[in-house]
């Protein structure tokens, strides 16, 4: 089956398949008509030949033994046979038992008469097997060719065989086969060309649908305001292709409406997040300031009140960081530009790992840096925040003693920054949405894990994408790696 499949052409387009199907169906129809015509003509001509045999009777083979007008033989001396009203090529033979005693054929041309025929043993066996029923039968005589013969009983207990050549019938049938092949071949070629043009014209709306769908697939539908391409339109709704085009246009209309509503909703959410974050910064800072001021009061304060004030200050600080993160994400979503300066990632890694060692002395911090500095163009403060968030994520979500390795390399076009740890790994149910906002693992990897808002990795993804790069996660128990790729300056 594999070899057969390789021989047959593979038609990948619908146009080619329809055209090929049309040509194949026409070829099958032509073949059926041609075969039927050839078989019918062959049967008709053979029947006429049998009628001629019935009219000729056995006069010619009978005259070979019992005499008749003299017939000169140019090879074997004189024979006697009645060749009157016998067409040229008429064959006659007399059989006694299984032996042929006389055999002759009527000559063609202006010289009338018959000539004897030397039959082979195979020819004699073939003639001996012809049924004595007066009907026509086909035999192949090596001395003459294919003949249509009939056998009848003679007066002396012999068998008289009369035959007419099948060559005129076969020539006519072969000519019909040749003409039919040429005509049907030309018809198939013309049908293939005309069918291809017709199918191409009929499927033009489908081509427009495919072109429009291709343009839609290339649009950034994931975010922002999207302008969909023009509709297909102008198709006959009574045809299948026209109905597909009309349904496709309606679908594009629904998609465009949904995208417009989604974009408007996202814009309202961005404005709300930016406005709320901006408005919350002042009261949160005020609450934190008052709590810290109360803690600095010189008069004695009950221990429970002191503890409450400390918690208010701590939660206020955490809320302030959350507000700053939400405001940063809102600004990035709004497309506000970042600083574009030369940033030495090597120095950035050194400083960030140093800070991480101070914050997490229970972990083992290592670095793998290239000999030459790696520089990118971007916002140094935000890139430092990216690395700090990744290191904090590794510190908070892995137990003490975990080894965290920060590696940096460049191929001249892309800088690759990776943070790897040998901790327990990211839970499988959390990993797919780890860069989404407010994603938090219900099962923390350490009891000391803080109650973050789930914005740290979302900020990492947003900042990296704003720099034209990307971040990925590969995690399994004992090996978790966050990989950041940035274009090199």
Residues 6+ apart with CB under 8 A from 193: none
Is 216-336 CATH 1.10.287?
A: yes
What per-residue confidence (pLDDT) applies to 7? Answer: 40
Q: Which residue has the tokens 């246009």?
A: 249
- Which range (4-8, 277-281, 368-372, 384-388) has the least confidence? 4-8
Hey, what are 146's tokens?
């294919």
Strand positions, DSSP E, 157-196: 159-165
Q: How do beta strands 364-368 and 403-410 pair?
A: parallel
Query: What's the per-residue H, E or C state across 56-76?
Result: HCCHHHHHHHHCCCEEEECCC
Cα–Cα dist 23/30, whole Å: 10
Same fold, 216-336 and 341-487: no
Percent of all residues in the chain with a pLDDT value above 90, rounded to a whole number: 20
Hey, what are 477's tokens?
């128990």
Cα–Cα dist 482/37, whole Å: 77
Residue 404 confidence (pLDDT) above 80: yes
What per-residue confidence (pLDDT) applies to 399? Answer: 92
Contact at 8 Å (CB) between 457 and 483? Answer: no
Each domain of the chain, given as residue ranges in start order, spans 12-55+167-202, 57-165, 216-336, 341-487
Where do runs of H (alpha helix) occur along 340-478?
345-359, 380-396, 456-466
148: three-class secondary structure by DSSP: strand
Instruction: Could you please state the CATH topology (level 3) that the domain comprising 341-487 is classified under.
Output: Heat Shock Protein 90 (3.30.565)
Hey, what are 272's tokens?
């709300």
**Ramachandran area for residue 343 (φ above 0: left; ψ -120 to 50: alpha; else beta):** beta
* CB burial string 323-351: b at 16+ within 10 A, e below: bebbbbbbbbbeeeebeeeebebbebbee
23: three-class secondary structure by DSSP: helix
Cα–Cα dist 11/15, whole Å: 9
pTM for the whole thing? 0.47
- Count of other CB atoms within 10 angstroms of residue 462: 21
Residues 6+ apart with CB under 8 A from 393: 456, 457, 482
Cα–Cα dist 133/155, whole Å: 15
| pLDDT tens, position by position, 218-271 | 777 766 666 777 777 666 667 777 777 788 778 887 887 887 777 776 677 667
Q: What does the angle CA 220 – CA 267 – CA 281 come to, to the nearest 5 degrees?
A: 125
Residue 167 confidence (pLDDT) above 80: yes
Q: Which residue has the tokens 């911090």?
A: 365
Residue 405 confidence (pLDDT) above 90: yes
Cα–Cα dist 293/191, whole Å: 95
H/E stretch holding 420 reads strand 414-421
- The most distant pair of C-alpha atoms in the chain lies apart, rounded to whole Å, by 163
Contact at 8 Å (CB) between 327 and 284? Answer: no
Contact at 8 Å (CB) between 229 and 212? Answer: yes
- Count of other CB atoms within 10 angstroms of residue 297: 10
Hey, what are 347's tokens?
């120095």
Cα–Cα dist 306/327, whole Å: 31
Strand positions, DSSP E, 17-97: 70-73, 77-80, 91-96
Contact at 8 Å (CB) between 416 and 406? Answer: no
- Which range (149-158, 257-266, 390-399, 420-429) has the least confidence? 257-266
């Amino acid at each position: 089956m594999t070899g057969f499949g390789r021989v047959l052409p593979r038609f990948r387009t619908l146009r080619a398949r329809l055209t090929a199907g049309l040509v194949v169906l026409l070829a099958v129809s032509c073949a059926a008509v041609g075969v039927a015509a050839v078989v019918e003509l062959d049967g008709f001509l053979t029947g006429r030949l049998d009628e001629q045999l019935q009219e000729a009777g056995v006069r010619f083979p009978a005259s070979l033994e019992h005499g008749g007008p003299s017939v000169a033989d140019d090879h074997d001396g004189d024979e006697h046979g009645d060749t009157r009203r016998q067409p040229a090529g008429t064959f006659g033979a007399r059989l006694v038992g299984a032996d042929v005693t006389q055999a002759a054929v009527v000559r063609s041309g202006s010289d009338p008469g018959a000539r004897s025929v030397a039959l082979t043993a195979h020819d004699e066996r073939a003639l001996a097997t012809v049924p004595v029923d007066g009907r026509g039968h086909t035999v192949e005589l090596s001395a003459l060719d294919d003949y249509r013969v009939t056998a009848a009983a003679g007066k002396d207990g012999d068998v008289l065989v009369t035959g007419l050549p099948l060559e005129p019938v076969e020539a006519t049938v072969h000519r019909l086969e040749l003409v039919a092949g040429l005509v049907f071949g030309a018809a198939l070629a013309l049908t293939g060309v005309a069918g291809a043009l017709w199918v191409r014209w009929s499927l033009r709306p489908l081509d427009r649908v495919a072109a429009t769908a291709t343009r839609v697939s290339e649009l950034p539908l994931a975010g922002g305001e999207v302008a969909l391409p023009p509709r297909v339109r102008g198709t006959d709704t009574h045809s299948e292709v026209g109905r597909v085009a009309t349904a496709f246009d309606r679908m594009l209309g629904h998609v465009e409406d949904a995208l417009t509503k989604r974009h408007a909703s996202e814009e309202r959410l961005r404005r709300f997040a930016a406005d709320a974050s901006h408005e919350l910064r002042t009261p949160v800072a005020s609450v934190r300031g008052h709590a810290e001021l109360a803690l600095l009061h010189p008069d004695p304060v009950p221990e429970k009140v002191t503890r409450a004030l400390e918690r208010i200050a701590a939660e206020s600080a955490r809320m302030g960081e959350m507000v700053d993160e939400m405001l940063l994400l809102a600004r990035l979503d709004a497309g506000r530009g970042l600083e574009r300066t030369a940033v030495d990632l090597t120095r950035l890694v050194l400083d960030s790992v140093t800070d991480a060692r101070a914050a997490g002395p229970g972990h083992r911090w290592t670095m793998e840096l290239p000999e030459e500095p790696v520089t990118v163009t971007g916002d140094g403060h935000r890139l430092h925040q990216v690395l700090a968030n990744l290191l904090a994520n590794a510190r908070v979500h892995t137990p003490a003693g975990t080894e965290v390795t920060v590696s940096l390399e460049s191929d001249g076009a892309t800088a690759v920054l990776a943070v790897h740890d040998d901790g327990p790994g990211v839970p499988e149910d959390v990993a797919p949405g780890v860069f989404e906002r407010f994603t938090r693992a219900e099962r923390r990897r350490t009891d000391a894990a803080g109650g973050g808002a789930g914005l740290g990795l979302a900020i990492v993804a947003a900042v990296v994408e704003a720099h034209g790069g990307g971040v990925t996660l590969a995690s399994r128990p004992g090996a978790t790696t966050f990989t950041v790729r940035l274009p090199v300056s």
